[in-house]
Amino acid sequence: MALSLAQVQYIFGRFSFRALSSGLIAPQPAWLARNIVLARAPFPLPTPTGRTETIRCHRLVLQHMLSALGELNHRGLCRLIRSFDGCYVPRHVRWDTNRPLSRHAWGIALDLNAAQFPFGSPRKQDSRLVEVFAKHGFLCGQEDGGLWRNTLDPM
């Protein structure tokens, strides 16, 4: 079950922020310095613009993320990630300032293969990818009535 906003704030921290354009935000620098970390991925991750060898996420999520990626690498399933589309992206839900902050603003959400599995799509990610990330504590929004109530979010 997905965490409520209150649970997210309790576990990962509350922060003030400055609104930027297009739904982006600039979180409080002290919170960023304490919580958002950069780490080397176990293998180069494809991105929409090339490849990245680093991941930026919340410090409490980092080991879970690295463990999931490490297991994919160990099992020869790296190819299931066709595009790493971001984890820490300080913004509002769907880039809309009338909506609450996205879980990406805390660096605790992860988008994979977003072009193939966009928000609202009924398509489903490969079950092996979903299972590996679930084993390491991540939820997938591709099931109806799942993560985001009745909105599918398979990325």
SS3 content of the chain, % helix, strand, coil (to 5): 35, 25, 40
pLDDT for the residue numbered 141: 66
Owning domain of residue 128: 5-135
Is residue 88 scored above 60 in pLDDT? yes
Which of 12-16, 51-55, 70-74, 111-115 has the lowest average pLDDT? Answer: 111-115
pLDDT for the residue numbered 154: 42
Residue 142 lies in a domain: no
Q: Over range 4-27, report the average pLDDT.
A: 96
pLDDT for the residue numbered 1: 63
Residue 50 lies in a domain: yes
Range list of β-strands (E), the chain:
17-19, 25-27, 36-47, 50-58
Is residue 65 scored above 60 in pLDDT? yes
Asked if 101 and 92 touch (Cβ cutoff 8 Å), the reply is: yes
pLDDT for the residue numbered 119: 73
Q: Over range 32-37, report the average pLDDT.
A: 98
- The CA distance from 52 to 73, in Å, is 15
- The CA distance from 50 to 46, in Å, is 6
Residue 152 lies in a domain: no
Number of domains, the chain? 1
Residue 41 lies in a domain: yes
